Amino acid sequence: MNDALLEAVRELRVAEPDFGVKPLLAKLREQQPELGAATKEVREALADAEARIAAQSGDAYSQLLAEGAWYASKEDTRRAARAFGEAIALNPDRPVAYYNLGATLGNSGHLVEAAPRYLEAMERYRVGSEKWAKATAWAFDVLRVNDCDEVAKPEWWNDQGLKALSARVVRAAPNAESALDMRAHVLSGEVGGWEAGPRSAAELKEAATHYDRSAALCPAPAWKAKLSEAADWCRSEAEPPPGRLCATPETL
């Protein structure tokens, strides 16, 4: 591992303890572009920093979280999930292990198993906090896919419930891609997963704004392009030319 990158991540971890991989990566690229930081390298460096901090703390829960993060950075899903599961068993009232387990399972394609973990994290974070918002947004993102059609949905899984909840989520985390995506998807009404009613021009314009903001934050060119296309579609549907038939965007 690049020593300069490792040191830079450690310093940022101390300065910004709530930063995840994406915010850290963006900050590093902004402050020290000469490091040429990549997502995988930052994930490994962050896991190393977490492990050192946990070891110094002597807290068993933190040590298990750090162990899980390390295995996750190496794409060892089985060992990562086991470590996070042990953390949950050790302290079932704390939300972080549920969230990390959901992320680990989701990133490895186990969406049906990831969904309830995100919901359990959401239930344990303080309602209205940024972490609650991110857990909620990721729960939504997993639950809306076809793989989760048979997964039990929460009581807010309906058009009006999702509109109200997504508004709270984006207020709580206005600079999180996951929150922006959730609000945009709900207001567009075109991503599937629930029965969406007609959308007003105002809702479609707001959806376009959130897609634009998410695209600006997104580091992946292909996904950035899809978000921009979705924003353009929402604007075109909000003010369609006279006589033009409505079209449906490619599913995000």
Is residue 53 a part of any domain in this protein?
A: yes
Is residue 15 a part of any domain in this protein?
A: yes
Sign of CA dihedral 4, 7, 9, 12: negative
- Residue 73 confidence (pLDDT): 80
Phi and psi at residue 172, to the nearest 5°: -75, -30
Is residue 19 a part of any domain in this protein?
A: yes
SS (H, E, C) the chain: CCHHHHHHHHHHHHHCCCCCHHHHHHHHHHHCHHHCCCHHHHHHHHHHHHHHHHHHHCCHHHHHHHHHHHHHHCCCHHHHHHHHHHHHHHCCCCCHHHHHHHHHHHHCCCHHHHHHHHHHHHHHCCCCCHHHHHHHHHHHHHHCCHHHCCCCCCCCCCHHHHHHHHHHHHHHCCCCHHHHHHHHHHHHCCCCCCCCCCCCHHHHHHHHHHHHHHHHHCCCHHHHHHHHHHHHHHHHHHCCCCCCCCCCCCCC
Is residue 135 a part of any domain in this protein?
A: no
CA 32 vs. chain centroid, Å, equals 25
Is residue 31 a part of any domain in this protein?
A: yes
Banded model confidence at residue 62, pLDDT cuts 50, 70, 90: confident
201-204 contacts at long range (C-beta below 8 A, 24 or more positions apart): 201/238, 201/239, 202/238, 204/234, 204/235, 204/237, 204/238
Is residue 18 a part of any domain in this protein?
A: yes
Q: What would the pLDDT profile of 147-206 be if each residue is shown by its tens digit?
A: 999 999 999 999 999 999 999 999 999 999 999 999 999 999 988 899 999 999 999 999
% pLDDT > 90, the chain? 62
Distance CA 119, CA 5 (A): 34
Amino acid identity of residue 192, one-letter, is G
Q: What would the pLDDT profile of 29-48 be if each residue is shown by its tens digit?
A: 666 565 565 566 666 666 66
Q: Tokens 């105002």 identify what position?
A: 202
More confident residue, 107 or 133: 133
Is residue 22 a part of any domain in this protein?
A: yes
CA-based nearest residue to 162, from 202, 197, 212? 197
Query: What is the crossing angle of helices 77-90 and 96-107, to 10°?
Result: 160
Is residue 56 a part of any domain in this protein?
A: yes
Phi and psi at residue 176, to the nearest 5°: -95, 130
Rg (the chain; Cα; Å): 19
Mean pLDDT of 11-26: 57
Distance CA 139, CA 31 (A): 32
pLDDT surpasses 80 at 12:
no
- Residue 191 confidence (pLDDT): 87
- Into how many domains does the chain fold? 1
Give the structural domain span for 50. Answer: 1-73
